[in-house]
Amino acid sequence: MITRVGVVGLGLIGGSLLRRLEVTAGGMTRATGWDADAHTRVRVATAGLSVSTSLEELAAVSEVIFVAVPLPELSSVFAGIASLVDPAAVVTDLTSVKQPVRDLAATYDFTFVGGHPMAGSERSGFPASTSDLFADAAWVLTLDDGTDVAAWLEVAELITSLGCRVVPCTSAEHDRAVARVSHLPHVVAAALTIGAADDPLALALAAGSFRDATRVAGTRPELIAAMCGGNAAAVDAELKAFVTRLQEAQLLLRDPKRLAAWFAAAGSVRKEWPPVANGQTGLVIDEHLPARLLAAGRAGRQVTSINAGYVMVAMPSTDMPSTN
């Protein structure tokens, strides 16, 4: 069992993780944070959370290190950790792009498991952090060729103990999926907001639809740029597909019956989201586990706990139980 956890980067995501660890650990896990900004470290300590005096101190005592810094800052943090971390320790990240992070981590001599919690806010910084940001959240842990499965299970067990659900997938699968459901919405929100910027009447009339569709446009622009730019190929493909769908809608504007059917198709998908699990199934922890986990992830299943000899996976109501 993991008893010593470090969190590097104490903004919205890292700060919320440190708070969550403090709330859920129950005295069994000691969580310590560190941030390059001295003012942030003071704020975190004032909030009653444990803060290391240096990255070196944190790396030396942590069994698992969560790196919660923006993509452009990862290289310097990884370089700082590499010569300090215990060889038995595991490094994982919380970055919203996975292939560039996987490639970067491969240049360093530490055990790495890529991660991405699917939770956030348009706000930023430690003052925006909250212990319930990750409550019941999906959390990607990547399984690529060469991933240490024992380390993956260690991190997965810790994350599920925080009340999160782990989604296994490859780095490439992750980047394609988040381009569709996370990165593209940021681009669309910005485009909608810019489109109304010079129309005072439209902004005066804007209500729930505009508010909900543009919420993430308030996110720090440098974070969005790093996220979308770091996943440029996948976001580009999704933008092209999105434009095609908009053109389809444009052609249907004067055909109410077909236009209604187009909206109905979208409505039925939205009403079924998020999917509801109905029970669990156990995947045996053996040499075939990585393939089974990836198959589960592709089917939208999520790991809920790690038990003796089994990985427990939430099972949609249409699935049949299986323990192999």
Where does a domain end: 145, 169, 193? Answer: 169
Can you give the CATH number for the domain in which 109 is found? 3.40.50.720
Same domain? For 103 and 231 the reply is no
Same domain? For 234 and 155 the reply is no
CA distance to 27, 194, 240, per residue, from 159 (Å): 16, 38, 35
Same domain? For 153 and 210 the reply is no
Residue-range definition of the domain harbouring residue 201: 175-271
CB under 8 Å to 208, separation ≥6 — which residues?
none
Q: Count of domains in the chain?
A: 3
Same domain? For 9 and 116 the reply is yes
Q: pLDDT of 119-131, one tens digit each? A: 988 888 999 999 9
Position 115 in a domain? yes
**Helices 232-252 and 221-230: angle between axes, nearest 10 degrees:** 100
Position 322 in a domain? no
Same domain? For 108 and 153 the reply is yes
Can you give the CATH number for the domain in which 244 is found? 1.10.3660.10
Beta-strand relationship, 303-307 and 310-316? antiparallel
Same domain? For 84 and 221 the reply is no
Q: Determine the pLDDT at residue 26.
A: 53
CB under 8 Å to 297, separation ≥6 — which residues?
143, 167, 168, 169, 173
> How deeply is 131 buried, as exposed, middle or buried, from its count of CB atoms within 10 A (0-12, 13-18, 19+)?
middle
Same domain? For 24 and 137 the reply is yes
Measure the CA–CA gap between 221 and 108, rounded to whole angstroms: 30
Same domain? For 27 and 144 the reply is yes
Same domain? For 209 and 107 the reply is no
Same domain? For 86 and 130 the reply is yes
Write down the pTM of the prediction.
0.93
Position 321 in a domain? no
Q: pLDDT of 144-179, one tens digit each? A: 999 999 999 999 999 999 999 999 999 999 999 999
Q: pLDDT of 191-242, one tens digit each? A: 999 999 999 999 999 999 999 999 999 999 999 999 999 999 999 999 999 9
Position 310 in a domain? yes
Position 324 in a domain? no
CB under 8 Å to 211, separation ≥6 — which residues?
none
